Amino acid sequence: MIESFSVENFLSFRTKQTLSFEASASKDFEEMFCVEVKPGVRLLKLGVLYGANASGKTNLLKALDFLRSFVLHPKSEKAESTDHIPFLFDDEYEHRPGVFSLVFYVDGIKYLYNMSLGKDTVYYEHLQYYPSSRPALFFQRKYDATNEKSMIEFGGTLGFSASEKSLIEGLTIANTSVLAAFSKANIRKSLFNDVYGWFAKDFMKIILPGTGLTGYTCNKVEKNSERKDVVLQVLQKADFNIVDIIFDAARDFTFTHKTGLAEKPLPKELESSGTMRYYGLAGVLNRLLEPNTFLMVDEMENSLHTDLVSHFIKTFLMNAPASQLLFTTHNINLLSEDYMRRDVVWFAEKSDLGETALFSLVDFKLHKNLSPLNAYKTGKLGAKPHTYSVIFKLLDAENKTEITS
């Protein structure tokens, strides 16, 4: 599970901004929202991000997805770009490296990963972990610009031989992460497998509004009756009258609907976009039932009624034992839900300089009797669009005078 994520100089993030999943002192809906990953450490299962259009909400998810992808995928050529995009509205930052930091837990062990990189070079990479109450070095990588070579120091507790260290170091070219280089090395199992495995299997790829989810869900349920049963339950409890999913020899599928008049399969071309979206999300929810999964969804409410969004969130919270869901949304009605803890709500706001700032609802210290929804609607929490007059000013071409329309 993720404890916190920080990003600096990437897309609309100029200065360091941090999103945290650490739970506040509140005990509201404790079992529903919080997981104690180790004694005294309570992490939240949910993160909800609000903000105006173009405020940088999606960029936060993209920053996390960039880190995930860079950690996992080695570059095949030294000349390949890292794909890092700096903050472009400041000439100074345009030539600075991006900085990323992720604190996460795997099997109860805390890891702290830091990375600094430019358009074609990783300048610094560091992974520290806590096998006990004291931190230990996993690896530290620095870039030797003179020799154009990455220098790596491995922690003594990993037990690598000199030849294994040399192999990983040789595969770590300037534009590739150490973990990605490890994935190419044929060496014995170590703690590297646990960390790389979490990024590869449990840190899920971002779901964007245009991401097709039906194929993913079909792959999960076609040959697995237990997963199919879960998906059907999710659909039925959300008031879809779907009682079966039928696959044909060509791997196409139809939903069987049951009404007060009949029970019939319908071609998916007749299904609403909301039905197909919720079916896709049902497969995603199935994946979230597996412990330590981390998933991001951009614009959760896409094609869905506001009550369905709330129902999906509650279904996740009540059934997923130790996974995390982070999503962006414009559905402000969630702010008025009685079950919604305040420490899961975050806001993204873009300044006049074009940079994104992140802040938590908890930072405002609203009185417990004050509605977050009303506070947001009245502008007390920021992160809203700045709109102006709806009257256009047009130019009279013949007289060169301004007229009002």
pLDDT attached to residue 61: 98
Query: Span 202-213, mean pLDDT?
Result: 94
pLDDT of residue 191: 82
Percentage of the chain beyond pLDDT 90 is: 75
Q: For 135-168, give one letter per residue: b (16+ CB within 10 A) or e.
A: eeebbbbbbeeeeeebebebbeebebeeebbebb
Residue 87 pLDDT exceeds 90: yes
18-22, 42-46, 50-54, 379-383: least confidently modelled range = 379-383
Rounded to 10°, the helix 273-288/306-319 angle is 20
Tokens 């779907």 appear where?
242
The length of the chain is 405
Q: What is the pLDDT of residue 187?
A: 78
Query: Would you say residue 128 has pLDDT above 70?
Result: yes
Beta bridge partners of 226: none
Residue type for position 215:
G
- Decide if pLDDT at 403 tops 70: no
- For the segment 23-28, the average pLDDT, to the nearest whole number, is 95
Tens of pLDDT, residues 65-83: 999 999 999 998 888 999 9
Pairing of strands 136-144, 356-360: unpaired
Q: Is 273 exposed, middle or buried (0-12, 13-18, 19+ CB in 10 A)?
A: exposed
Query: Which phi and psi angles does 303 have, rounded to 5°?
Result: 70, 10
248-265: average pLDDT: 90
For 306-342, how does the pLDDT look when each residue is reduced to its tens digit (9 = 90+)? Answer: 999 999 999 999 999 999 999 999 999 999 999 999 9
Residue 47 scores a pLDDT above 70: yes
Does 348 have pLDDT greater than 60? yes
